A and B are shown apart, each in its own frame.
Chain A
Amino acid sequence: MAGALPIRDTARREDAPWLTLKMREAMESWLFISPTLAGFLIFFVGPLIAVVWYSLTEWNLLTQQATFVGLDNYSDALFRNPDFWHVIRNSVIFAIGLVPLNMALALSLALALSGRFAGVVIFRTVFFAPVVTSAVAWAIVWKFLLQGEAGFINQMLASIGIDGPNWLREPNWAMAAVIVTRVIKMVGLNMILYIAALQAIPRDYAAAARLEGASGWQIFRWIIWPLLGPTTLVIMVITTIGSFKVFDHIYQMTGGGPENGTLVLAFYIYQQGFQFFDVGYASALAMIMFVVVMMLTIFQLVLRRRDT
């Protein structure tokens, strides 16, 4: 084998003697990466440019074609259409409800399940199971559980003398229901990230502190929690961004209702673009979403840089 080596090498180089090794390597790399790059240009860069253009045009069922109107769609959203601020309010309420609840539950579960004891694997499996389940399926089952009088949850409440509300028919309860069921669906993911971070903390830290007489709470507050800082930050931003993108869950559970009480940004984009065919306006909404997510990401990067 080793003897055949130099011959092969020269043979290969004679295929294309005008190519230097460096050029050959560069060419091969571009070939390797070209499917990804082509897809990226066609399905991402192109559409991103297009959506900027669309957002500057009036394009709906009446006009049937795009006419340039400058920033009209943006000022429509920001100053004229009251729905927009209602939707932003809903999205913010959804995020403010979901993120802390998700993170607190994820951290508590991770603290309880980062050790080794009988059943730890079972519990982890259980808490993570909804993550692999389709959001549509999850929402269908919860919608069923939360039906008005005949729903299981209200029947349980009735049996202990509580008259449960018609969860998905009253705006505030519907929002609460969507938030809580979404947290249960997704908390397993953050739990896993927290468990990984907890297990990366050397055990001696806590042991040393315990020798010094620190209580469990003190160890958590002054040792564990600061060490979890970077993880907490990443989880916070990912979860916030995820909460702005929520669509399937709400589509299935409430359809944005009642009285638009759970109409959030991603749903609003879908509704304006694909149900009302107001392409220009929907594109402006998409750009606003883009800016919001971008700002969150940059915020995270800045904080992370300051940390290190």
Chain B
Amino acid sequence: MTASLTRRRIRIINQICWTLALCIVAIPFVFPFLWMVSSGFKSAAEIFGSPSLVPREWQWQNFIDVFKHQPFARQYLNSLYIAVTVTALTLLVSSLAGYALARMRFAGAALVALFLVSALMVPEEVTIIPNFFMMRWAGLVDTHWPLILLPTFGPQGIMATFLMRQYFLALPKELEDAGKMDGLSRLGVWWSIALPMSRPALAAVAIITFLNSWNLFLEPLIFVSSLDKFTLPLALSNFTDPYGMPLWHLQLAATSLAVIPILVVYIIAQRQIIESFALSGVKG
């Protein structure tokens, strides 16, 4: 009786120690977010030198000034519509190709797959210079086209293709065969049978693609130069005074505005989102 009681007590103490240790490790993961929001509410005068998490005076004005400093609403919208477009396109293109690679027999299928896989190994920094000249030749510099096309068809899109292929391979074939018997075309089978069955894979592709586009930095930096075409990551680094020094209170307010919606969605759907990353496995 006493033995089991002490054992239980040891276990509880053990548990508390572990939890405490994890809480300490968690500080550098959580604190930057808290400090970001808190500093976004501080005045330019208070932002340095007051190590308090609660601002002395809540400067709601910062969140208005953010939109006056540059066309931030427009830039926000740019990021949003680009991310949605890239996600929709990637879902379409990668599920079509993934389906063909998983289900259809054609000469050269293995070779095509091998070719595509090889693209996964090459960082986009390697091909970005020729891509820039191609886009310039096509008159697409300082438009959003490169930010849509390159992620959709680059390593990102190919990764999505293989994720879809993997999922299609694991699906039972019988239902699709039945659909074919009923006179559905290949496209019909793909659309009304294979796709509805692969929602988890589609969701994973959508989540990862959206986040990647939302956070994309190198491509906007290279291809976009006018303020009203900026995307969020580019806009965030642009809250500076005429001498190039950061206007911290505005920058941190803007960063909060950019980060918090994503975090809220993440916290609500954390299981799904984390699983999507685990499924894709390979990333930066």
List chain A positions with a Cβ less than 8 A from chain B.
1, 4-5, 8-9, 12, 22, 25-26, 28-30, 32-33, 35-37, 39-40, 42-44, 46-48, 50-51, 54, 109, 112-113, 117, 119, 121, 123-138, 140-142, 144-145, 147, 150-152, 155-156, 159, 184, 186, 189, 192-193, 195-196, 234, 238, 241-242, 244-245, 247-248, 251-252, 266, 269-270, 273-274, 279, 282-283, 286-287, 289-290, 293-294, 297
Instruction: Indicate whether A36 sits within 8 Å of B94 (C-beta atoms), given known contacts A134-B215, A141-B252.
Output: yes
**CB-based nearest A residue for B182:** A1
**CB-based nearest B residue for A282:** B129
> Which residues B94-133 have CB closer than 8 A to chain A?
94, 96-97, 99-101, 104-107, 109, 112, 115-116, 119, 121-123, 125-133
Contact of A137 among B99, B161, B190, B233 (CB under 8 A): B233
**B167 beta carbon closer than 8 Å to chain A:** no
Contact yes or no, A32 B100, CB < 8 A: yes
| A154–B267 CA distance with the chains assembled, in angstroms | 31
Contact yes or no, A25 B104, CB < 8 A: yes
**CB-based nearest B residue for A296:** B121
**B35 beta carbon closer than 8 Å to chain A:** yes
| A28–B153 CA distance with the chains assembled, in angstroms | 20
Contact yes or no, A144 B127, CB < 8 A: no
Contact yes or no, B153 A44, CB < 8 A: yes
In the complex, chain A residues whose CB is within 8 Å of the CB of B128: 269, 273, 286
Contact of A30 among B106, B211, B270 (CB under 8 A): B106
Instruction: Indicate whether A43 sits within 8 Å of B154 (C-beta atoms), given known contacts A32-B96, A140-B255.
Output: yes
| A8–B51 CA distance with the chains assembled, in angstroms | 76
Contact yes or no, B233 A297, CB < 8 A: no
In the complex, chain A residues whose CB is within 8 Å of the CB of B13: none
In the complex, chain A residues whose CB is within 8 Å of the CB of B75: none
Chain B residue total in the interface (Cβ 8 A): 94
**B209 beta carbon closer than 8 Å to chain A:** no
Contact yes or no, B217 A46, CB < 8 A: no
A-contact bits for B20-32, CB 8 A (1 contact / 0 none): 0110011011101
Instruction: Indicate whether A28 sits within 8 Å of B26 (C-beta atoms), given known contacts A33-B96, A39-B157, A137-B255.
Output: no
Contact yes or no, B26 A123, CB < 8 A: yes
Contact yes or no, A40 B183, CB < 8 A: no
Contact of A273 among B129, B266, B284 (CB under 8 A): B129
| A124–B105 CA distance with the chains assembled, in angstroms | 42
| A192–B278 CA distance with the chains assembled, in angstroms | 6
18 new A-B contacts at CB < 8 Å, known A29-B104, A247-B218: A4-B183, A5-B181, A25-B105, A32-B104, A36-B94, A43-B149, A47-B129, A124-B270, A129-B263, A132-B262, A133-B262, A134-B232, A136-B217, A141-B252, A156-B51, A270-B125, A293-B126, A294-B122
**CB-based nearest B residue for A53:** B130
> Which residues B222-266 have CB closer than 8 A to chain A?
222, 232-233, 236-237, 248, 251-252, 255, 258-259, 262-263, 266
| A192–B151 CA distance with the chains assembled, in angstroms | 24
Contact of B150 among A32, A43, A128 (CB under 8 A): A43
Instruction: Indicate whether A192 sits within 8 Å of B32 (C-beta atoms), given known contacts A36-B158, A117-B15, A126-B26.
Output: no
